[in-house]
């Protein structure tokens, strides 16, 4: 069975920076995640908590919004007051990569727009709510490792990818 890495805040775990979880799923999404849970398919991770950050924690953003630049040491991850939390974000991404290798993961469903988990967009570092095309630090590292990264609005695509991989594997 093809397993999938899933952001813990999408599973009801209260690990978000503000102490909450993502709770605005529609019925189809809830049923799909429950089925994956029942199948034992899900490998859960919150990269920021795994990287050593507390919950709740100050919101953080990447100036320019590109997780790849953080991985390459070219940009920090900063809180609104300018505290640098880069190391925790990178450690969290490395733990995600360890899980990928340990479980042979080829698919991840990560929370949209997060500076760790976002796969298509992130906040631009101005703490104004402005979004840019970009990835969080974990999403960037997983993509580099060949993992297909989806977000919670792409669950149907993620399910199709898992099914296709299982069919290819016979
Ligand atoms: S780091 Fe990822 S899993 Fe953790 S709270 Fe943020 S979006 Fe959710």
Question: Which tens digits make up the pLDDT trace of 4-14?
Answer: 999 999 999 99
Task: Extract the tokens encoding 39.
Answer: 């199948």
In this structure, are residues 60 and 88 in contact, taking their beta carbons and an 8 Å threshold?
no
Give yes or no for residue 106 having a pLDDT over 90.
Answer: yes
- The dihedrals phi and psi of 136, each to the nearest 5 degrees, come to -75, 175
pLDDT at residue 23 tops 90: no
Give the tens place of pLDDT for each residue, 117-136.
999 999 999 999 999 999 99
Dihedral angle, C-alpha 127, 133, 138, 140, nearest 10 °: -150
> What is the pLDDT averaged over residues 19-25?
89
With a pLDDT cut of 90, the percent of the chain lying above it is: 95
164 — pLDDT class (breaks 50, 70, 90): very high
Atom of ligand 1 nearest to the CA of 49: 4
Cα of 161 from ligand 1 centre, angstroms? 22
pLDDT band at 65 (very low <50, low <70, confident <90, very high): very high
32 phi/psi in degrees, rounded to 5: -65, -45
The pLDDT score that the predictor gives to residue 141 is 98
Q: Is residue 24 scored above 90 in pLDDT?
A: no
The reported pLDDT for the residue numbered 44 is 98
User: 170 C-alpha to center of ligand 1: Å?
Assistant: 33
Burial class (CB in 10 A: 0-12, 13-18, 19+), 69: middle
Give 34 Cα–ligand 1 centroid separation in angstroms.
19
Residues 76 and 72: their CA atoms lie apart, in Å, by: 10
Give the Cα separation of 33 and 15 in Å (integer): 18
* pLDDT recorded at residue 170: 79
For the beta carbon of residue 18, count every other beta carbon within 10 angstroms.
11
């Amino acid at each position: 069975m093809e397993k999938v890495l899933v952001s813990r805040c999408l599973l009801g775990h209260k690990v978000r920076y503000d102490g909450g979880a993502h709770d605005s799923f529609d019925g189809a999404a809830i049923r799909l995640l429950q089925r994956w849970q029942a199948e034992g398919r899900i490998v859960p991770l919150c990269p920021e908590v795994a990287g050593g950050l507390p919950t709740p924690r100050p919101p953080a953003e990447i100036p320019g919004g590109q997780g790849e630049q953080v991985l390459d040491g070219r940009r920090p991850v900063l809180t609104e007051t300018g505290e640098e939390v880069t190391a925790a974000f990178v450690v969290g991404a490395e733990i995600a990569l360890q899980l990928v290798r340990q479980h042979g993961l080829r698919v991840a469903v990560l929370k949209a727009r997060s500076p760790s988990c976002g796969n298509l967009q992130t906040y631009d570092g101005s703490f104004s709510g402005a979004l840019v095309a970009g990835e969080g630090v974990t999403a960037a590292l997983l993509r580099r490792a060949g993992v297909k990264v989806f977000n919670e609005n792409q669950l149907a695509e993620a399910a199709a990818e898992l099914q296709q991989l299982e069919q290819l594997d016979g």
